[in-house]
Structure 1
Amino acid sequence: MADKPPTPITDANANHEKPDLKSALADKHNLITLGVALNKLAKQLGADTSAPAVLAALKTTSMVIHPDTRYAQDAGGRVALETFINNLGLPPPDSHFALTGLAAAVTDRGQVHPLGNMTGALSWLVPPSADDKRRIRLITMSHGDPQGQYPLVMQTNGLLLEFLRSRTALPAGALKDPATARDALLSSPEGQLLGETLQKTMRGVATDSSTMDYLLAAVALQLDPESITETRRNMIAGFDMMSDKHWGKPVSTVLKSFEQYLVTGKRTSAAMAGVASSVLLPGRVPAFGIKDIPASVTYGSPAWVEVSIIAAIIEGLTPGKVANMTFAEVMLAAPSVIAADPALTQRAQREALVDWGVINGVLPKKDDHLYSADELDALLLEFNTRKALTSTASQALDADIPSRKEMALIELKKRFPGQEALFEQKLIHISRKETAAGGDVGYRTVEVGPHSMLDIAMMKLPRADLVLTSKDTRVPLAALQANPHFGVADAFESQFTHAIQEKKAAISTYIKHLISQAPLEVREDLEYGKISFFQEHSRTLGPGFTGSTPQPKNEELLVRVERNRMTKAYAISFNRGTIDAVHLSRASPESHREANVVHDTKAFTPNGDDATRRAEQKHPTQRPPNSFSSERTGLIANAFVQHVDLDDDAIKQQARGVTTADRNRRRGEAVTEFILDLIPFRSAINNFRRGDIGAGLFDLAIDLFGIVTAGAGVGGKVVKIAGSGVSAATKVARSAKVIGMATISALNPLDGVGDLAVGAWKGANAVSTGLKRLSGIKARSDLVAASRHFDAASVGTFTRKDDILEGQAVLIKDQWYAYNPTTRQPLRVTAGELCTLRAHGGRQYGQMGDSDRFD
């Protein structure tokens, strides 16, 4: 005979309302609307607006109220901002600073989903045991129509989510928005029925959130039964998020692979795959839920490390927020969240850096708790060193090559302030005084003029016997004659040489970075294969096909790879920031003509080349190559630097500028736009590498290395190799502030089996052996408040397996429960886990009196 269903546990002293997710979401929507309205108002009023003006504007400015909110029933379609703010119990802002501050605060609150990170009961202060999880899943799979007219969940193609979808009228377009579809399914009558069934069958406390908590746990456990026993952090539903197939791929590609895996494994349907990931991922890998992640932020890249760390911290502090944030919002939040919870921050840093270390060949792949302090120290050193190198390279690529003209103008302004209008006017002649054999004195022209003051400052004139003359009395001839030497020519030569060397080093660093961020197959081909280089040239034939004029060389460097009896070809592009597989024919010597243009592919042998270093190598270990720091990557980076040829004289000629004397000697005629077009980086010289990742309030850019910067009007960092002058946009870019994580100072090894031994659900306050305090323990007033709704309340300790937990507890019908004062909900634990509770030197509040012990 079947066991009689257990009697549900209820709180007789409290009146619990039916969960209303739709209204809660509408309330969140109203907060976002208020934030937008306040920011708009602040912009309209300006920073210096008066308090009366702000308060008056709040009275006359209205906002639309979401129709599903409870407040809309009384307020109608619109409400004044002042009225809505008062309804929130907040004082109205009376300054520009207060407007923007309140806007940020309500937006933050509005971004937090009412259901948190979708883990439900799995992230309770005391989550269900493994046995309880198995029961929840079994009950879920056996759930069906009470009248037996429809298949059970286990009999439905697509299982639980498809079971709910087939019985729920989804809003129009919901299937294109997984979050909307998810919320509709969870709040549907069928979903609530399953949640209530689980709560009753599991003898859970009936609270205003218990139905949804059990339902969320049911969805997660149906999709991911492996989480009941799984200890590996990156394994979700049997899918390895850290698979080498994902390395170097856009985050969206990894997400699609995960969803396809769920469908292929028959855990859900294709229509519900997005809904499934929106339930499983926020509590495990929240960064995958971030909106508008740039395609350049690939899995395992330094930029991915940064955003993963920040997202994990935000989600740990405010579960359910990250999925409603954009990439720009997450990065901008870094300064305010990093120091909020040091333990949380260090865990997020450790997990993200361990993954980065494995991907980059710095660490072997193993469980987190097996890494020693020495391994983590070496990892941290490698990460911070690489971060410093890429930061230096980014600045070097952003910097202008010295301009002799700009240097000369600076010196002229120092010596002749207020005379800028004369600097470029050609009013001066240069000659040398000579005495003939008969004693006659004459003057011989040294440089055919006339010259400008700027010409003289740029030139390296002979030291003796120079005479400067001019018919224009405005020219300060006496001062110039006394000292016509400015030192600009020599200073330019020195600074130019130094700048070119820095650019070469920066380009080398960038190519190393590109290779290290490529998919593993590409990295291994370049690391271990026999490689040879090719360049693509072109020339235009003259009339009658006699003679030819060279055209710009393709900036891509072609690499032919022979490995494991296979031959491939790759094109490395600085301008696009890519390493692409190309047809093998492109990396072979050949020549063909299209009309009057001849295309030639030629083998390229860098200076100092050693054929043995380019030969095929054996794969030394099972660990991925440390591509950034390897000798082979250095060889390829050096080849690319030589391919670019920053020693091309055209670059220096443009930087030198042209004086009258240069033009007279025809030295400047060769420095034309045509010659400059032969430089492979021409497109990068004249154009921004656009990396906009924010708009409006979020003024961010992402550079070549994935470094995120914030600054007024930043459109992207300039890759300026041979540009002339400093554009306004360049100056703005240089004022940009790097945002994200500061240098990470320390990583501590894990004790025991780690922070999250089984299931790895974020938000669960997992503990190791010893006394641990459950989060949420606050002041005595919390216990007093709890005692008003339950039979008694106290702070005590109880054991669960090998752990001793400390937390608040409430008494309901002679049964003690762990209590979460934040949600004001009791959390049931099984009799085997709830052994003994003891009060700690305080009183037990409630009807039972002042007892120092309770069982």
Structure 2
Amino acid sequence: MKTAFGDSCDWQTLAKHLKAIIQTLDIGDSNLASRLKNTLMVVCEDSTYFRQHALGIADKVSVEAFIRDSGLNVPRTLEELITLNGQVVKRAQTPPLGNFSGALSWPAPPGTQDQRSIVTLLQGTTTQLPGLPLADEQKGTLGYLLSGSAVSEADLKKPTVAIEKLLGSAKAQALGQAIQTQLGGYATDSSRNEYLLAAIHLGLDPESLDAPAPGTVAGFDLAREAHRGQGAKTIVDNLAQHLLDKGRVTAQTACLGARLLLAKAAPEFLVKDIPRSVTYGSLTWAQLAIAAARIEADTPGRSLSMNYAEVLACAAELNTGSAVLQDIQKKAMTDWAVANGLLTHATPTDTELETVRVEYNRQMLALTTASSLAKTPIPSRREMALDALKAAFPDLDPALFEVEGMIGVFRVPGRTGRVDGPRSMLDIVMHGKKLGEHEHWESADKRLPAAAFCVLRESGKLEVAEPFESEYDQAITAAKKGHQGLAQALLATLPPQDRKNLEYGELEFFHTNEYKMGFGMVIAPSQTLKKRGHTLRVKTTLGGEVNIYEIDTKAGTVEKQNFRIRRYTPPYTDKNLHRVDGDLISKTVLFKPFKDEQPDLAKAQPSAGDKLPAFGSARSEYIGRVFAESLDLRNQDLSDQARGVTSFDKEAASLKAVGEFFLNLIPLRSAIVNFSNGDIGAGLFDLSLDFIGLVTLGAGKAAQAGKAFSKGISSVRGAAKAARFVGAAAIEVFNPLSGAGDLAQGVGRLIKKGASRLISKSIDGVNRLRGASASYDLLKAASQQHGAAAIGTFKVAGEIVDGGAVLHKGQWYALDAEKLQPYGSPLEAFVPNTHAMKGVIRAKEIPQGAQLDNTLHTAFKVPESTITGLSRNSQGVYTAANGHQSFIRHTDQRGQQAVYEVRQITRSEDGMIQARIYHNNRQTELLVQHVQGDQWQRLGARGGYPSRVNSDCGREIGSGVQAVLYESRDGASVYKCFDTDIESFDINAVFNQADALNLYYGEGFAEAVNSMGSVYIKMKKLDGVSLASFQAESLPVEVRGLLDDVFRSLEEKNIFQGDLHLGNFLYSARDKKIYPVDISPNSRSDLNVGDPLPEDLMDDYELFKADLYNDLNKLLMPA
């Protein structure tokens, strides 16, 4: 584990260096190579790199060397450097312990039975470990490991530090080993820790074993009504208290326990720097939940180190699979709808969910529109004038625009004299004053282009005053509308009772400005506006209860301020409402902008009982209007500030307070998010976060310099096309089977909670192992590393899923396709489809009668060019660009290839992909089934070849030249169905096989049946893996003795196997036995099963037996 933390430290160090290099480079900068070579980095002493390169404590390595030695390409251009930076940042942000749930976050996590086994182990005496069984079962594994540990109280405040210390102890490792042994888990460098983390979770959340209700963790309802409108910290603290009340943690470990559970179950609660307005149940909370879940689905634990804006930005970059994305969105939509009274339950129908989706999109559009409008920049007449002058005189020093050297004079001969001035060009353009018909501007200052200025003025090309008035009016209208919308949106983030107070109570509004008093020689002191108020306080009275709320769109809050109740109690006199502090006076007024409107919405409104107020209700719209009106955006001093002071104005009044108000008007003007890693930190993009919880994306300094948007840069997937608001895009219509295609249709009815993510992960893993061009490079690599590897099907919670696996000591173990690392307990009923050994794909043998011979079906073929440019999916199908046509390419037993059009692509109940071949838009008699890659086989009329003999036949688990094996529905038996059409078929041999099986295993083990043209043997299912599946030197030497036992027993019963090869024997690591499965007696027609073998046949038998032992010896480990 120390190595994992050391490696993470190295990636973080590299990320910091790359960020620094990117920020200082320009496109085409030739110094990149030297910067990489000359920038030195410290390597963590616990890391893999430090150990592999035998470094000393004081040694440093170049960034270039570290990149190269880590198996990454050294970038040659800035574009390549930015791409590399993205890869490095992801590794740096991925914690070594993921989301702290260990085995529970594996692609195929332990089943309920295995999880219960962990709990049973902790409560039993089988491990003989000190402290077990647990003295206090309530404290679980966490309490057991903390007892006597070196974890300090300070460590407990940092989950990563605490867990690292906890898992590193000898006590923890011994328990991890015991759990791994109990479950038969595949041993890796991290497997013991992953089992320990799973055990910790099961101790904290034993309810997870019994199908808990949605939204609950450890029996604690995260979605309870009391949490609506509350911040994340409040809910985390409540969960911690719940765990303490249950006795599962101590006061010191309560926070740690809560954070460990939420890291897996609801990571959005642990995101850093969540704005105060992003409360549970709000729109922006749903946005956060979706973003965090997308990140966790891609890289468990990554969101835990990120802040709010980083989470939204990172999620927008991810290419989340459709099925997983919709699963995430549906959950977030459901939680949001329940919290806002749009749903009464957490299991909505498709129709209900569609209604919720539409309403969510409507509210999100209203929120983003309001935010955009509130950020409308107020035009400056001065800036508009300067821009016009710079455009007209690009070569002129801008400082000359403010030189007061322009004089207005008569231009009529005989008339002289000054009519105006001196003025600056800027003053003239800002003011917009036009001289008389016989007047013009001239200047004695030769630096000023007076003549050209006059021509442009007279042509109207320097007209600013009138456009300013129009733009100012539009900006004020937009800002007013925006702040009204933001105020409405903020009301929806409050807890239910506060929303009801504001919706149904009697309302009174109060607005405050601050003034500075001046004391001169005059009788009455003067008052100068010091601070214009941008907040509004609302007093509500409902059922005799008074509450005070302050609305602040800049801070993005509606805050309860009941400490002001006494101040806002009648009579509303200056004495009660005004406050004096030295020379400052705070003036509060009772604000009634719409007192003459009817109906008077300030009066108490009829209550709707327990029903939550609707978003955008008439009352919330009224409060929003009052707030916007309180800003008094049409005030003369505001327009004066925007116009700016010119020499035409008689006095330049102090507008500092007004200018400050304009700055405060824009929500969170200073909240530009600074990122430590990634493209944001590299200066490619600016992310601006407002306190309402919306994040906006814009081109940063580097991007504006041309460093971004270059080909190949992936950040928010094409920022030039990115939405203004990150993560706030509309939710698209839900497609029940989106992203899974035909593959999901066969199992759609079986999908349970979390299954869609498992299916998506399995499809993604299969695609990764197969490769985009069906090269199977990763599968081959896995087989080189682990011996035998395969893509196939296995059972998870009773359901069949696709995935990769490796063979280890006679058992198949799931393969993590990303890490190429086996994990977990032996798989249940794994059936390989595509098999690789020592880096070579092994062809799958197809029974002769099931072979699809391309030479016999030439008439049905389509040109090879039909699939040019198309990729084969995990189902073996090539889909046309229009999505309406599908094709297969088949390589037959002679190696000849042909392309066919297929339709009716389905998945059988046993997980096999089947399709019907079509020609000239007509169905043919050819029903085919995918074998592997571009290999298909022909099926009989009932979907299998040889056909399934009855409804008890389940999935296919094997095949040979003469027969196909099917597992029974209950998994207890096997049907061996024979191909009666092949020339070598012998009905007597079938019955002889059944007799031999019964003679060896006992009467009743097998039964031969000949019924309605179907011939099969039904036998009991045996545990084990075919000896033919093992790689060289992988079996324990004891296996030879087990095979000796088999032959001794066979021969004692006069059973002499006539088809001796490794594929006809199963090795069961569990039972420590070898089982013969295809006992075809070596006999003549004149002999019966059990008769002694004649001498002339015995010699051949011994030769074949010797060959079998010779093949077996190659598989045995060296003595």
Matching residue of 2:552: 573
The structure 2 residue matched to 1:34, chosen from 10, 14, 19, is 14
- Tell me the residue number matched to 1:803: 799
The structure 2 residue matched to 1:404, chosen from 371, 374, 381, is 381
CA RMSD of aligned residues (A): 4.5
Is 1:536 aligned to 2:518, yes or no? no
Q: Which moved more, 1:253-262 or 1:589-598?
A: 589-598
Amino acid aligned to 2:315: A
Q: What is the aligned partner in structure 2 of residue 744 from structure 1?
A: 730
Q: What CA distance in whole angstroms lies between the structure 2 residues aligned with 1:633 and 1:791?
A: 67
Q: 1:179 to 1:755 in 2, by over 3 A?
A: farther
Deviates more, 1:99-108 or 1:825-834: 825-834
When the two structures are aligned, how many residues end up with a matched partner? 792
The residue number in structure 2 matching 1:724 is none
For 1:384, the equivalent position in structure 2 comes to 361
Take 1:220 and 1:208, find their aligned partners in 2: how far apart are those partners? 20
Q: Judge conservation of contact 1:531–1:614 (CA < 8 Å) in 2.
A: yes
Q: Which residue pairs with 1:827 in the alignment?
A: 825
1:118 matched to 2:104: no
Report whether the alignment pairs 1:219 with 2:200. Answer: yes
Aligned match of 2:1029 in 843, 846, 852? Answer: 846
Shift of 1:224: 0.8
**What CA deviation, in whole Å up to 9, does each residue of 1:435-487 have, x standing for no partner?**
xxxxx997898x76444444443446578645236563756359738938665
Instruction: Pick closer, same or farther for the CA change 1:625–1:285 going to 2, 3 Å.
Output: same
1:136 matched residue in structure 2: 118
Which position in structure 2 is the counterpart of 1:8?
Answer: none
Please give the alpha-carbon distance, in whole angstroms, between the structure 2 residues aligned to 1:519 and 1:560.
Answer: 17
* 1:347 to partner: Cα distance: 2.5
Output the CA distance in 2 between the equivalents of 1:495 and 1:45: 39
Q: Judging changes above 3 Å, is the alpha-carbon distance between structure 1 residues 736 and 598 closer, same or farther for their aligned structure 2 residues?
A: farther
SS at match of 1:281: helix
8 Å CA contact 1:251, 1:295 repeated in 2? no
CA distance, structure 1, for counterparts of residue 1065 and residue 427 of structure 2: 94
Answer yes or no: is the 8 Å Cα contact 2:780–2:789 preserved in 1.
yes
Alignment of 1:345-356 (within 5 A): 345-356=325-336
Cα 1:321–1:488 shift into 2, 3 Å: closer
For residues 621-770 of structure 1, what are the structure 2 equivalents within 5 Å?
Answer: 622-627=610-615, 629-663=616-650, 668=651, 671-673=653-655, 677=657, 681=661, 684=664, 689-695=669-675, 698=681, 700-711=687-698, 738=724, 740-741=726-727, 743-748=729-734, 757=752, 764-765=758-759
- 1:95-127 CA-to-partner distances (Å, cap 9, x unmatched) read 544445434423422433344333333344544
Shift of the 160–542 alpha-carbon distance from structure 1 to 2, 3 Å rule, reads: same
1:468 paired residue number: 440
Match for 1:591: what amino acid? Answer: D
What is the CA–CA distance in structure 2 between the aligned matches of 1:252 and 1:842, rounded to whole Å?
A: 62
Cα distance between partner residues in 2 of 1:695 and 1:207? 35
2:470 to 474, 478, 494: 494
Which amino acid in structure 1 is aligned with residue 196 of structure 2?
L
Find 1:614's aligned residue among 590, 602, 605.
Answer: 602
SS of aligned partner of 2:732: coil
- Mapping of 1:420-431 within 5 angstroms? 423-427=401-405
Q: How far apart, in 1, do the equivalents of 2:256 and 2:764 lie? A: 31
How has the CA–CA distance of structure 1 residues 747 and 215 changed in structure 2, closer, same or farther, with 3 Å as cutoff? farther
In 2 relative to 1, CA 826–788 (structure 1 residues): closer, same or farther, beyond 3 Å? farther
Identify which of 449, 458, 464 aligns with 1:483: 458
The one-character-per-residue Cα deviations of 1:247-302 (angstroms, maximum 9, x if unpaired) are 44333333233223222322212222343234322322233343454555444444
Secondary structure in structure 2 of the residue aligned to 1:706: coil
The alpha-carbon distance between structure 1 residues 784 and 526, as it changes in their structure 2 partners (threshold 3 A), is same
The Cα shift of 1:568 comes to: 1.1
Q: Report the equivalent of 1:457.
A: 429
Amino acid paired to 1:384: N
Q: What code does the residue aligned with 1:508 have?
A: Q
| 1:501-531 deviation line (CA, Å, top 9, x unaligned) | 1111111122122222233332222112221
Q: 1:178 Cα shift?
A: 1.4
Distance 1:484 1:790 in 2: 82
Cα drift, residue 603 of structure 1: 1.9
Could you tell me whether the CA contact under 8 Å between 2:374 and 2:666 is conserved in 1?
no
CA 1:192 to 1:405, structure 2 compared with 1: closer, same or farther past 3 Å? closer
CA distance in 2, matches of 1:572, 1:684: 14
- Tell me, yes or no, if structure 1 residue 603 matches structure 2 residue 621: no
One of 234, 249, 252 as aligned partner of 2:230: 249
Q: 1:167: how far off?
A: 2.9
Contact 1:26 1:69 in 2 (8 A): yes
Matching residue of 2:42: 63
1:366 aligns with 2:345: yes
C-alpha distance in 2 between matches for 1:705 and 1:60: 41
Letter in 1 for 2:669: R
In 2: Cα distance, 1:196 partner to 1:410 partner: 73
**In structure 2, what residue type is equivalent to 1:401?**
I
Q: d(CA) in 1 for partners of 2:782 and 2:393?
A: 80
**2:830 & 2:405 partners in 1: Cα distance?**
100
Q: Is the 8 A contact 1:167 1:190 kept in 2?
A: no
Identity %: 29
Query: Whole-Å Cα distance in 2 between the matches of residues 409 and 774 of structure 1?
Result: 57
Q: Counterparts of 1:111 and 1:744 in 2: how far apart (Å)?
A: 28
CA distance in 2, matches of 1:414, 1:70: 58
Q: Secondary structure at the match of 1:525?
A: helix
Deviates more, 1:547-556 or 1:42-51: 42-51
1:516-555 deviations in Å (ceiling 9; x for gaps) = 2233332222112221112335664856974552644543
Query: 1:170 — aligned with what?
Result: 151
C-alpha separation in 1, matches of 2:68 and 2:700: 36
Alpha-carbon distance change, 87 to 477 in structure 1, aligned in 2, over 3 angstroms? closer
Distance of aligned partners of 1:550 and 1:199 in 2 relative to their CA distance in 1, 3 Å threshold:
same
1:38, 1:103 within 8 Å by CA — same for their partners in 2? yes
| Unmatched runs of 5 consecutive residues or more in structure 1 | 1-20, 435-439, 716-733
Would you say 1:507 and 2:494 are equivalent positions? Answer: no
Asked if the contact 1:798/1:838 (under 8 Å) is kept, the reply is no
Alignment-mate amino acid for residue 402 of structure 1: P
Q: In structure 1, how many angstroms separate the alpha carbons of the residues matched to 2:792 and 2:554? A: 63
Change (3 A) 1:480 1:283: same
Query: Quick one: which amino acid aligns to residue 241 of structure 1?
Result: L
1:690 counterpart letter in structure 2: S
SS of 2:540's partner is strand
TM-score, with normalisation over the residues of structure 1?
0.79
- Asked if the contact 2:510–2:589 (Cα under 8 Å) also holds between the matched residues in 1, the reply is yes
Counterparts of 1:516-555 in structure 2, within 5 Å, are 516-536=492-512, 540=517, 542=519, 546=524, 549=527, 551=529, 552=531, 554-555=533-534
* TM superposition score normalised by structure 2: 0.62
Code of the residue aligned with 1:626 in structure 2: it is: A
The answer to whether the 8 A contact 1:791-1:813 is kept is: no
- Whether the 8 Å contact between 2:276 and 2:556 is mirrored in structure 1 is no
Which shows bigger deviation, 692-701 or 469-478? 469-478
Flag the 1:852–1:501 CA change in 2: closer, same or farther, 3 A.
farther
For residues 319 and 107 of structure 1, the distance between their equivalents in structure 2, rounded to whole angstroms, comes to: 15
2:68 aligned with 1:89, yes or no? no
Give the C-alpha shift of residue 222 in structure 1. 1.2
State the secondary structure of the residue aligned to 1:614.
coil
In the superposition, relative to structure 1, how do residues 472 and 203 fare at CA in structure 2: closer, same or farther (>3 Å)?
closer
Distance in structure 2 (CA, Å) of the matches to 1:380 and 1:685: 32
Mapped partners of 1:639, 1:127: distance in 2: 55
8 Å contact from structure 2 (residues 176, 193) kept in 1: yes
